[in-house]
Structure 1
Amino acid sequence: MAAVYQASLLSLNEELAVGPLGSTVRRVPLDRGAWVDVRPGWLSGADELFERLAESVPWRAERRKMYDRVVDVPRLLKFYDEGETLPHPVLADARRVLDEHYREELGEPFATAGLCYYRDGRDSVAWHGDTIGRGAAHDTMVAILSVGYARPLLLRPRGGGSSLRYDLGHGDLIVMGGSCQRTWEHAVPKTTRPAGPRISIQFRPRGVR
């Protein structure tokens, strides 16, 4: 299932581990009670994790109804529900560090992990907010760890407006918090430019999808 990915020799020589958060996190306030936290290069050895996940995760291709037809979801997926063992121990470490950093603000632990495999520039996710479940009515957080080739994550106010762009890959972390899932949307657009494969890991609290 693995796509062709040219890993960095430097990254492959790094220890596979998450770094600290604390003062290394940069918060960007948005409007309407939303914010994002950004921590570039949070995971060292990220290329090694990409290769292990690409090879070992039981990826699924899904189809969904869109208007009057059923279409292929343009990425591969795997969801790890609360209590399920994550596909690599470093992801359990990442969730533990996130829990420690955001415990007071979030008020609950991150419980699930959804993985998306963007194989090339044709794979994407359309504008949306994670509003299935409690995210539709309550402030929450979604933490996204990206490994592999950097792809842009775009954010814009719900209903349209100017967008923000974050190029995420190689161990970068972004956390969307406050009202972000209700009042903003995010997307990973298709691109015709050369783009290598990327895997994103989305940590969410219980009941948020």
Structure 2
Amino acid sequence: MDVQTTLFGSATGTAPDFTGLERRPLTEGAWVDVCRGWLPEADDVFATLVRDVPWRAERRKMYDRVVDVPRLVYTYMIGEQLPHPVLEAARESLSDHYEPELGERFRTAGCCYYRDGRDSVAWHGDRIGRGNTHDTMVAIVSVGDPRRLALRPVAGGDSISVEMGHGDLVVMGGSCQRTWEHAVPKVASAGPRLSIQYRPFNVF
């Protein structure tokens, strides 16, 4: 089934707040938080990331051939400065808000550049590292054209989807990386969209 989460309120100023945050419980201890319009200065963040991130194209072995990964990527590791001060403030706000539940702070920021509707990410869970055995969180900030984040339970059952708009925040938590999968499907037509995925240490 398709689910469109409706939320009201947006962050103002340089530090995002969590007014309007809504949590959707899933199965097996998984959950998804959504906050619309969470990221301040989303237009400037989008333009800065397109210009300043050292985007790279990757290739990956799939079955008996090597194929292009259908998006551009770059990851800011622990200690690396993020390309926009709002993204630094966002990471601190996320850490302050979720640390009591998560038990640690967000440390890395993976960036993906979906250039048009042909760019996508296939079904997966962030299970490399501690996400394979422990509850964790992945916080996604989206800027640019709206795209759909689809989620489905690994054990089978109804899927859901969340439309990620310009400046929206989506946080997948609890057992979500182990018991659910997520994807950004291809679409017939879409403009450029960037995502920033904040993760704790040793979650990929």
Which ranges in structure 2 are unaligned for 5 or more consecutive residues? 1-10
- 1:27-176 correspondence runs (5 A): 27-176=23-172
Moved more, 40-49 or 74-83: 40-49
Q: Give the TM-score normalised by structure 1.
A: 0.89
SS of structure 1 residue aligned to 2:170: strand
Q: Is the 8 A contact 2:41 2:86 kept in 1?
A: no
Q: Give the TM-score normalised by structure 2.
A: 0.92
Q: Does 1:17 align with 2:14?
A: yes
Q: Is the 8 A contact 2:12 2:40 kept in 1?
A: yes
The one-character-per-residue Cα deviations of 1:111-165 (angstroms, maximum 9, x if unpaired) are 0000000000000000000001000000000000000001000011014432111
Cα offset, 1:15, TM superposition = 7.2
Q: Give the Cα separation in 2 of the matches to 1:41 and 1:178.
A: 23
The one of 193, 197, 202 equivalent to 2:192 is 197
Q: Which residue of 2 aligns with 1:181?
A: 177
Q: Which residue of 2 aligns with 1:208?
A: 203
Moved more, 28-37 or 159-168: 159-168
Number of residues of Structure 1 aligned to a counterpart in Structure 2: 194
Q: Give the Cα separation in 1 of the matches to 2:48 and 2:24.
A: 32
Q: Percent identity?
A: 65
